[in-house]
Structure 1
Amino acid sequence: MSASVKKKHRMSISHSAVLAGVSGGPSYDVPGLFVADYSIKVPLDYSGELPGSINIFFRIAVSRNKQNDTSLPYLLYLQGGPGYESPRPMDASGWLKYATNCFRVVLMDQRGTGLSAGITAASLELQGSPENQARYLKCFRADSIVRDSEAIRSALLLSGPDNGNLGNSGDSRWSLLGQSFGGFCCATYLSLAPQSLAEVLITGGLPPGISSPCSAENVYRRTFQRVLGQNAKFYARFPAAEYRARQVVSYLISQPNGSITTPAGNTLSPRSFQLLGLQCLGFSTGLERLNYLLESAIDPSTGAVSQRFMKDFDTSMAWDTNPLYAILHESIYCQGGEAAHWAAHRVRENEFKDEFDAIKATHDEKPVYFTGEMVFPWMFDEFKELRKIKPAAELIAQETNWPKLYDKNVLNNNTVAVAAASYFEDMFVDFELAQETAQSIKGIRLFVTSDHLHDGIRENGSAIIEKLLNMARGGVLLR
């Protein structure tokens, strides 16, 4: 890269900032794909306040019939979250089937997830005091994820590790595909290092409130309304589920302390029961899944909540393996001098208390409404692994000193080709708020549809990515 180009970088990862080059791991075949594993050492804290480094794991997947095609460009996939690792490729199916024929797809475990310094309650406790834990956690947001991505891009496309399987199209830029929170990361990338990007594809992930110091309260005000709509759909499709949900709540409130303990040591209470909506209400087959969970919730021989249901409940709650989602979720909406301060809890208590009062609904023989993508402070009392990090979670909730995630001026003057799928009935990313953000990104092309929910990429990913690529590259004309 020429010196003149380097000077234009709004954010640059120099070779000296990357503490070590790429380390190669195993390479292997899965049906239809060639996959190779790598890691790279990067600073823990790019601001330099905290010492140390972490390893970022990534793998590269390419169609087996394109394995030796060194002209293929790179595409970095940024997954949803925060706090979830990149998908593990099992075969050439879904969106990967299409993408790996056009790109070498980089699947990075975002920092704090999977094999990239994965955070658990136990690992976080090693940081010492709650204050130290909170300082550590602040290093795991989108701005740092983008800088990690730049370190990988620099290693692959500027220096190039000594591995013939990596390939190099000759272009130092790469493409992005961001799903959900991954789309938020794409907007941060467009703000911090647009010169590194050839094109950006976003699915269900245009971040809301990019000009606000903290948009969390407004986000939850909108998404609670979306969740009410999904509940109404659920009970309209499965009327028998209404009685079954009340059966569960009735049993729970009849027990000492109004709850029971699950096999994993979690507390199953009326309010934690409602959390099942997070994994069920907003996805393509989620209503069916919730219906089947409820049909076996009560053991007919005892009238108690069944062992099967308790196990299914524990499995649905990923806080033990992925606590980063719970502890950092509201902070993804913060980028200034305001704290999130348990925004979802405040909005629920102040504006939606009656609608989501499971005990009252049961007494009144009305539908028990499930909640959506919200994190509540009491979860750090009711879930075994979250209890261990409650003090740090409270500090994060009160934190006001958050780095900026979006540069509206840069986005207003964007020159990178951007295409985004926006889902009209998305329960996780409010459609209206997403449209407001789209108006701030110059040149963005929008694919608006009600054919899919938030997980359109999972349901029909190849078709969606092909359409977005055509839009980004001018194959779909403006009209």
Structure 2
Amino acid sequence: MPGDPRGFAPVGPAAHRRGPETVLSDGTVTVEHWFTVPIDHALTLDQARAQEEAGAGVGPGGRATLQVFAREVRAADDRHGTRPWLLYLQGGPGSGAPRPGRMGGWQAALAEGHRLLLLDQRGTGRSTPATAATLAGHATDRARAEHLVHLRAPSIVQDAEMIRLALGSGPWTTLGQSFGGFCTLSYLSWHPEGLARCLVTGGLAPLTGHADRVYRATYTRMAARVAQVWRRHPEDREAWAEALALVRSAEEVGDPVRLPDGTALTVGRAQQLGMLLGGNTRVDRFHWAVAEAVDRTGPAPRICETFTAEVAAQTGRWTNPLYAVLHEAIYAQPAALAGGRADTGWSAARMLAEHPEFDPEAVAAPLPTGEHVMPWSFRTEPELQPLVGVAALLAKRTAWGPLYDVERLAVNEVPVAAAVYTDDVYVDRDLSLETASRVAGLQVWETDAFHHDGLADDGPGIVRRLLGMLDGDG
């Protein structure tokens, strides 16, 4: 569109190739779809293809386009796909959409009135991947970083609108979970004409301000969540401290505890078990991991294999390194929208100064962390080591485009219903409500019955509640 503040070209339909159709064991129908879009949406698809023909694209080998994969899912009683489309925007960043098995949960509830499109956002899943291996096709860290800049919410939304046009769909319904909600706010900003109504679960990002606001708030939420767990399981506090002491002492003598892949277990990596505290359905896994962390059956206490396996499960980024590389970048805005500072500057690490109870350099038994990505991860975790230079460049970058159009959101006309989880440790409740107050037509259902993974806990109940709000029944 002319004058687009993102510098994007006018939107047109993606090139579309329909893949095979499959019928699952319960009669659910899935159809594969492949779409070709520009890497840089400053170009139209025709312009990107012309660059490719000249070998002058921004990607490896002169590529200027990439593939975006999406899977259509139809209920058994919508065999031929006559129901209207609903686009699912996955959380992340860096995660592909769920792979359907038997129809159930929130998918079944929404498939009663829709056919679903589960989008593998650019760089994820079966879309053209962005991993350490594929990014190595770029000659320099700077080129890799510039490629990743094109994987944020505004570009994902441009893909989605090109896909909608390619499918011949009218304005569609969307469901955005977590980062998918951030994408929804971008969609409402830049292409409201493509939206009939939007559902958001745990995904109202701050529209303005620096990433520091996010990490300052989420450290506070995480401290409260840990205190709640300690109250429920008082013995876990002592077990946690004992486990970290064993990990630390092993590090100090140069014989660290090893994870299943052979890499060293550090206190910082153990802290990432706190990711389990973000959900109703996972918090008990944290309790059992801590309760069983130390084996005392031998001549001396030792860290148990069940603990190291759980840490490995929470910290491994082999399939989605984008989660770590882009985590702070998804909040990066131009200086005018970010309160004067445009670089993220390793925000989560800097905010430790305000929250020393999480700092392994400040206290013997630091609290578990949540969605807090640290620069040391890129030096110590093998799947992230090839991206250490890229991550450093993104942390210093100041040339960010806008994520949202605040003025357009203030006069939004698309109906939106959002679930805000009171005690969410990933997407802060207060910042979410601030955003809700700045988006016209957005209705909020705040609940303390769920944490960030509410869709996994009671997806049908949550989506029916949000649909009811838009239908005037909520």
TM-score, normalised by the number of residues in structure 2: 0.89
Partner in structure 1 of residue 3 of structure 2: none
Letter in 2 for 1:314: A
Aligned to 1:336, which of 326, 334, 341? 334
Task: Pick from 339, 346, 354 the counterpart of residue 350 of structure 2.
Answer: 346
Provide Cα deviations, 1:411-470, integer angstroms capped at 9, x if missing partner.
011111111111111111111111111111111111111111111111111111111112
Q: Which moved more, 1:258-267 or 1:72-81?
A: 258-267
Give the Cα separation in 2 of the matches to 1:276 and 1:382: 17
Q: What is aligned with 2:261? A: 264
Residue in 2 that maps onto 1:55: 67
Equivalent of 1:297 in 290, 293, 297: 293
- 2:145 equivalent among 102, 125, 134: 134
Question: Structure 2 CA distance, aligned partners of 1:358 and 1:396?
Answer: 25
Give the aligned CA root-mean-square deviation in angstroms: 1.8
For the 8 Å contact 1:245–1:368, the answer to whether it is kept is no
CA distance in 2, matches of 1:257, 1:26: 55
SS of match in other structure, 2:70: strand
SS at match of 1:448: strand
In the alignment, what sits opposite 1:245?
Answer: 240
SS at match of 1:127: coil
Shift of 1:21: 2.2
SS at the partner of 2:311?
helix
Distance 1:30 1:328 in 2: 37
Aligned mates of 1:140, 1:306 — CA distance in 2? 39
Deviation at 1:32, TM superposition (A): 4.8
Whether the 8 Å CA contact 1:175–1:198 is kept in 2: the answer is: yes
**More off after superposition, 234-243 vs 41-50:** 41-50
Whole-Å separation in 1 of the counterparts to 2:81 and 2:257: 57
Change in CA separation of 1:211 and 1:182 when aligned onto 2, cut-off 3 Å: same
Q: 1:388 Cα shift?
A: 1.3
2:102 maps to which of 75, 85, 91: 91
Give the Cα–Cα distance (whole angstroms) in 1 for the partners of residues 366 and 27 of structure 2. Answer: 45
Rounded Cα–Cα distance in structure 2 between residues aligned with 1:261 and 1:336: 42
CA change 1:91–1:201 in 2 (3 A) is same
Residue in 2 that maps onto 1:424: 422
Q: What residue is the counterpart of 1:233 in the other structure?
A: 228
Residue aligning to 2:119: 108
Residues 69, 327 of structure 1: CA spacing in aligned structure 2 closer, same or farther, 3 A cutoff?
closer
Q: Give the TM-score normalised by structure 1.
A: 0.88
Comparing 463-472 with 303-312, greater Cα deviation is found at: 303-312
Matches within 5 A, 1:309-328: 309-328=307-326
**Range 463-472 or range 26-35, more displaced:** 26-35
Separation in structure 1 between the aligned mates of residue 415 and residue 304 of structure 2, nearest angstrom: 52
Pair 447,32 (structure 1): closer, same or farther in 2 beyond 3 Å: farther
Q: State whether residues 131 and 395 of structure 1, in contact with CA within 8 Å, keep that contact through their aligned partners in structure 2.
A: yes
Identity over aligned residues, as a percent?
A: 36
Shift of 1:151: 1.6
SS in 1 for 2:203: coil
Rounded Cα–Cα distance in structure 2 between residues aligned with 1:291 and 1:424 = 22
Which deviations, in whole Å up to 9, do the C-alpha atoms of 1:309-365 show, x marking residues without a partner? 2222212223122100000000111121301110010001x2112x12457654xxx
Q: CA deviation at 1:93?
A: 1.1
Distance in 1 separating the partners of 2:25 and 2:417: 30
Query: Residues 417 and 443 of structure 2 are in contact (CA less than 8 Å); yes or no, is this contact kept in structure 1?
Result: yes
Number of the residue aligned with 1:216? 211
Aligned residue type for 1:369: L
Letter in 2 for 1:33: T
Unaligned runs of 5+ in 2: 1-7, 44-56, 336-341
Measured after TM superposition, the shift of residue 258 of structure 1 is 7.5
User: Counterpart in 1 of 2:457?
Assistant: 459
Counterpart residue identity of residue 358, structure 2: F
Cα deviation digits, residues 192-248 of structure 1 (max 9, x gap): 00011000111111111x133xx2101111111000001101111112222221222
Q: Distance in 2 between matches of 1:261 and 1:211?
A: 42
Query: Which range is displaced more, 234-243 or 184-193?
Result: 234-243
Partner of 2:272: 275
Q: How does 1:65-80 map to 2 (within 5 A)?
A: 65-68=77-80, 70=82, 72-80=83-91
Q: Secondary structure at the match of 1:37?
A: strand
